[in-house]
Amino acid sequence: MRNTPIGRVLTRTLAVLMTAVLVSSCAVRTSDMPRDPNTVRIAVNGWVGYEASAEVLAYLLRHEMGYEVQLMRIDEQPSWQALDQGVLDAIVENWGHEDLMELYGPEGNGTVVDGGPNGNDGYIGWYVPRYLVDRYPGIDTLEGIEENIEIFQTAETGGSGEFLGGDPAFVTQDQGMINAFGLDLEIVYAGSEAAQITEVRNRYANEEPALFYFYDPQWLLHELDLVRVELPPYEDGCDADPDQVPCGYPAYDLNKIFRAGFTEDGGSAYEFLDNWQWTNDDQNAVAQLIADEGMDPEEAAGQWVEDNPEVWESWIPDEGDVRR
Amino acid sequence: MATTTTIPSIRSGPGHAVPAPRRRSPFSGDWARLGAVLGLLVVGFLVSRVLNVPAWLGPFPDAFGQALMARLDSVYEWVVTNRNNSPLFVYGFNYVSVGLGTAVVVITQALVLLTWPGVVLLGALATWRVAGWRVTLVVLAAFAVFGLTGLWYEAMTTLSLIITSVLIALVIGIPLGVWAGQSDRVHAAVRPVLDFMQIMPAFAYLLPFVLMFGISNPAAAVVTTVYAMPPVVRITAMAIRGVDQGAIEATTSLGSTPWQLLTKVRLPMAKRTILLGVNQTIMLAVSMVVIASVIGAGGLGDAIYQALAKVNVGQAFEAGLAIVMLAIAMDRVTGAAGHGEHAPEIPRRLRLPVLGAGALAVVVVVLLARLAGVANWPDAVTVSIVGPVNSLEAGLQASIGGIASIGGDVLLHGVLNPLTALLTGTPWPVVVLVAAAIGWIFGGRRVALTSALALLTTGLLGVWENSMNTLAQVLVAAAITIAVGVVVGVLAARSDGLAAVLRPILDAMQTLPPFVYLIPAVALFGIGRIPALAAAFIFALPPVIRLVNDGLRGVSVAAVEAATSQGSTRWQVLTKVQLPLARPSLLLAVNQGIMMVLAMVVMGALVGAGSLGYDVVFGLAQNDLGLGLASGLAIVCLGLFLDRVTQGRRSDA
């Protein structure tokens, strides 16, 4: 190679950098990322119910306790990863994920801990609109779906029936259930909760057939008349093989997940999140303001806080600890 | 992404010059052969249907792909459990990731500390000094948009991510470019790497970087750097190569050392061109930070991503506007700094005092703002355009929604489904052979080999069916885009009025981040492949129109006049003279159009388009490295195939 000056400079710089790295014996852990102790970092997963919880908590932390709050929009599994890497402090609505708890929890990496229930009960299942049940009695059962499978055919799925999925990030065993029940259904993922709701609403307005993945707590259930499809009840281990799941979803006690370090150095912010518990109706009230009335999430949280002091006052830790 | 086309000739390097057309109608022979090959594909499909495919010709054997995915999954598990133990991480990647994470946080904190009046004043003064008062007005307008949309903090987050990534890209890219500019061997080694970096749809390589550098800012900074670096390397190398040989020889004969030659002659003479590369790098960084919001980068991109998740057109438009203003301001500043024409003339002895006065003014303003308690932009001073935009969108949907969805169904049933069936239903060896044949027709032997290997690799990765599905979507969207783009481009080339009207619209469209286009598409077409195609069409249309327009306008007036004087009709002039002579631009338009459609179609997974893009999203969301990475690589393979085939014969040269 021609002895070009830039080449020499680069080689020299590289050599210096290499020695610097080798000489310095300090190993860097990802948790060494600098963190502002006055900022609480909460994950926001991709459904509006979660957003409602996170926004109300953020509002109280900001306005009642003087913290800065960073809400990071990120999917469920990556949120756990972020807790593990010390980038986030808390997940405020967790659906199951026993496998992740094994990986990152006290038995595994020891970087995250279970923060106990947040008061919400979670249900995941298959739903059809009420008008469909009136028109095709029994369509809210597996047999009914099988009999009437052709009404679910769409341009997108061709010969198979369409099963409308939600966000690719959501907890799902639908493909395993479809396999196990032997239904000729093809899953079309809407890509996000709102896209799925838009599609369901359009069909609802025209009374078109729809069969879809949905869940509770969910504000839309108060607006549209939807019926749960009867599925075989969940039994321990029936979802062991993801390709063959002959049962419905388990019932979830939704819980909080904290970064292990946050429980030690989180101060009154941690205490506050630890105290927090509310009902499905509380969450739906805020979620409905955000998603249906299109209110700015922060404003919606503010309005709920103003209207419901008796609910949240007990969450705030004793005055002495609060950084006002 | 949006601005890759501004300087098209850079991308292809010196080998770009396409020989003048050998035939009167340059495409006819190729088209006949292409028709024969496609006929073969259809025959292959029909024969295999009728004869009931023999087992060995069935679906692509996926044993290798499955093994690969399982292997990758175990790599993922290893990384998760060893991220804070293994020397590879604690002495390697973690340095980068903590360093970058810290840099972004520190810059954001600094911008917050400066308060908004301080940032505005600093930005305005700095701009005035390097680019003059006209550009300062643009910068002030951008700041006003950040504040008035209520996105000040988000804009600062994005700005600090861009600053970090661009600095790294320049620190690595400029020396590398200088090196490549001086050494042929380095140049030859670097070029294919840069080619590869530019073909890869950004969406496809988020996952491995998240794995190596951790979620959020660090990975976002790295992907943005990787995405934004190629132009500055290419353009710097080109600029250094382009320095006048006479000047170099003169200096060498005076006994300069190589280092003096570089710093005193080459770099100063190449400075203006290098600044053009810096400009391109910044523009790419702006568009990438939006995509990086998928991995938790926050900022303006996050605002758009949230708007997509809520199907809120108005919110997306607002955040999109803020990004467009950011992009325009940064473009004008670096552009003007490159020219250096409008910068104020300040006598040398006054420069230091002016600098000092400026710094003092900023400090005073920051202190005043802090004391007066206006550090944060007041929430009351915002103008929301979300409402009006949403009602406009609702009106649009009510009026053309029905027609749009019927059109979508026709496209789905009439074109997309049959094509998908053809590609997935034909035995895979036939498809690979056909790809090779198409490569041969358009590019020669080497392209044929690349095409066949690229498609074979998608199969080996275990995602053959999804790849064919994605390919079908890309081909349909690209065909529509190119057809419309060429027609509009021709019209624009013939009418100065139309061209003048189109210019600012195309500029704005090219600066808008790709996500923005998905949102109205969902509102109009529902979910599925059609909205993804619609978004890809809108996204890829501007560069096609622009390249066709530029190409036709570049055809020499003499050639057109000669044809006219011989009594050719306008149609004849267009088809026999202008289009053939503009062939290089047309080829580039096709190439750029297809590549941009590919980038967008995979993002269509966010609105239900499925196939490869869905698996990438799924891989990211569910930490499924095997599937996510295999699908990402398959997208790259498709990109390689489409790029090589549409680059024309020069690859053989």
Q: Is the pLDDT of residue B481 over 90?
A: yes
Q: Is the pLDDT of residue A128 over 50?
A: yes
Any CB–CB contact under 8 A between B614 and chain A? yes
Q: Is the pLDDT of residue A122 over 70?
A: yes
State how far the Cα of B194 lies from the Cα of B197, in Å rounded to an integer.
5
B538 CA to centre of own chain = 14
Using a pLDDT cut of 70, give the percent of chain B over it: 92
Q: Is the pLDDT of residue A91 over 70?
A: yes
**According to the model, what pLDDT value does residue B480 have?**
93
- Chain B residues closer than 8 Å to A31 by CB: 84
CB atoms closer than 10 angstroms to residue B262: 21
User: Which helix H or strand E contains A114, and what residues bound it?
Assistant: strand A112-129
| Mean pLDDT of all residues in A247-274 | 90
Q: In a mutagenesis test of the B interface, which of A85, A162, A175 is the best target, namely the one with the most B β-carbons within 10 Å?
A: A85
B605:A84 CB<8 A = no
Q: In a mutagenesis test of the A interface, which of B89, B216, B264 is the best target, namely the one with the most A β-carbons within 10 Å?
A: B216
Q: What angle do CA A18, A22, A25 make, to 5 degrees?
A: 145
Nearest CA in chain A to B527: A190
Using a pLDDT cut of 70, give the percent of chain A over it: 87
Encode pLDDT of B164-173 as tens digits: 899 999 999 9
A87:B607 CB<8 A = no
| Mean pLDDT of all residues in B45-52 | 72
Joined tokens for residue B332: 């004008």
- Residue B293's nearest CA partner among B620, B630, B636 is B620
Residue pair B10/B3 in contact (Cβ under 8 Å)? The answer is: no
Encode pLDDT of B542-575 as tens digits: 989 988 888 888 888 888 888 888 888 888 888 8
B444 class by beta-carbon count within 10 Å (0-12 exposed, 13-18 middle, 19+ buried): middle
- Residue A190's nearest CA partner among B532, B187, B448, B640 is B532
Q: What are phi and psi of A114, to 5 degrees?
A: -75, 125
pLDDT category at A56 given cuts 50, 70, 90 is: very high
Q: Is the pLDDT of residue B19 over 50?
A: no
Q: Among partner residues A21, A158, A169, which is closest to B91 by beta-carbon distance?
A: A21
The lowest-confidence range among A151-165, A182-196, B371-385, B566-580 is B371-385
Joined tokens for residue B396: 């649009």
Joined tokens for residue A212: 């879809």
The lowest-confidence range among B26-30, B124-128, B625-629 is B26-30
Q: Is the pLDDT of residue A21 over 60?
A: no
B90:A10 CB<8 A = no
Nearest CA in chain A to B217: A87
**According to the model, what pLDDT value does residue A8 have?**
56
Q: Among partner residues B102, B302, B605, which is closest to A73 by beta-carbon distance?
A: B302
- Residue A133's nearest CA partner among A63, A7, A225 is A225
Residue pair A163/A178 in contact (Cβ under 8 Å)? The answer is: yes
pLDDT category at B361 given cuts 50, 70, 90 is: confident
Q: Is the pLDDT of residue B17 over 50?
A: no
B40 class by beta-carbon count within 10 Å (0-12 exposed, 13-18 middle, 19+ buried): middle
Any CB–CB contact under 8 A between B295 and chain A? yes
Q: Among partner residues A76, A189, A198, which is closest to B610 by beta-carbon distance?
A: A189
Residue pair A165/A213 in contact (Cβ under 8 Å)? The answer is: yes
The pTM is what?
A: 0.80
User: Which helix H or strand E contains B32, and what residues bound it?
Assistant: helix B28-50
How does DSSP assign B505-521, residue by residue? Answer: HHHHHHHS-THHHHHHH
Contacts of residue A120, defined as CB under 8 A and 6 or more positions apart, other chains included, come to A49, A53, A93, A217, A254, A278, A279, A280, A283
State the average pLDDT for chain B: 80
CB pairs under 8 A between A and B: 185
Give the ranges where chain A is alpha helix by DSSP (H): 5-23, 48-63, 76-84, 98-104, 130-135, 142-147, 174-181, 193-205, 220-223, 260-265, 267-275, 280-291, 297-307, 309-312
Residue pair B529/B411 in contact (Cβ under 8 Å)? The answer is: no
- Residue A250's nearest CA partner among A264, A269, A237, A268 is A237
B101:A194 CB<8 A = no
Using a pLDDT cut of 90, give the percent of chain B over it: 5
Using a pLDDT cut of 90, give the percent of chain A over it: 25
Q: Among partner residues A155, A158, A291, which is closest to B409 by beta-carbon distance?
A: A155
Nearest CA in chain A to B607: A191
Encode pLDDT of B58-95 as tens digits: 667 777 778 888 888 888 888 877 777 777 777 777 77
Name the minimum distance, in Å, from the CA of B354 to any CA of chain A: 35
Joined tokens for residue B223: 């992907």
A82:B296 CB<8 A = yes
**According to the model, what pLDDT value does residue B2 have?**
40
**Touching A: B residues 356-395, CB under 8 Å:** 386, 390
Residue B520's alpha-carbon distances to B281, B304, B387, B537, B545, in angstroms, are: 29, 12, 15, 13, 22
How does DSSP assign B412-473, residue by residue? Answer: IIIIIHHHHHHHHHS-HHHHHHHHHHHHHHHH-HHHHHHHHHHHHHHHHTT-HHHHHHHHHH
State the average pLDDT for chain A: 84
Q: Is the pLDDT of residue A16 over 60?
A: no
- Chain A residues closer than 8 Å to B620 by CB: 75, 78
pLDDT category at B217 given cuts 50, 70, 90 is: confident
Q: Is the pLDDT of residue B174 over 50?
A: yes
Q: Is the pLDDT of residue A198 over 70?
A: yes
**According to the model, what pLDDT value does residue A2 have?**
38
pLDDT category at B27 given cuts 50, 70, 90 is: low
**Touching A: B residues 204-263, CB under 8 Å:** 210, 214-217, 257-259, 261-262
**Touching A: B residues 519-548, CB under 8 Å:** 522-523, 526-529
Any CB–CB contact under 8 A between B175 and chain A? yes
pLDDT category at A197 given cuts 50, 70, 90 is: confident
A78:B258 CB<8 A = no
A46:B309 CB<8 A = yes
Q: Which residue has the higher pLDDT, B205 or A102?
A: A102
State how far the Cα of A43 lies from the Cα of B53, in Å rounded to an integer.
51
| Mean pLDDT of all residues in A217-225 | 83
The lowest-confidence range among A179-183, B38-42, B60-64, B471-475 is B60-64
Encode pLDDT of B302-337 as tens digits: 888 888 777 778 888 888 888 888 888 888 888 777
- ipTM, two decimals, is 0.76
| Mean pLDDT of all residues in B34-57 | 71
B101:A33 CB<8 A = yes
End-to-end CA separation in angstroms for chain A: 65
- Residue B287's nearest CA partner among B330, B338, B332, B233 is B330
Coil, helix or strand for A34? coil
A6 class by beta-carbon count within 10 Å (0-12 exposed, 13-18 middle, 19+ buried): buried
In the block, tokens 């019932």 appear at A251
**According to the model, what pLDDT value does residue B52 have?**
66
Phi-psi region of A294 (alpha: psi -120 to 50; beta: other; left: phi over 0): left
Nearest CA in chain B to A48: B310
Name the minimum distance, in Å, from the CA of B99 to any CA of chain A: 8
| Mean pLDDT of all residues in A53-70 | 91
- Chain B residues closer than 8 Å to A108 by CB: 81
Any CB–CB contact under 8 A between B579 and chain A? no
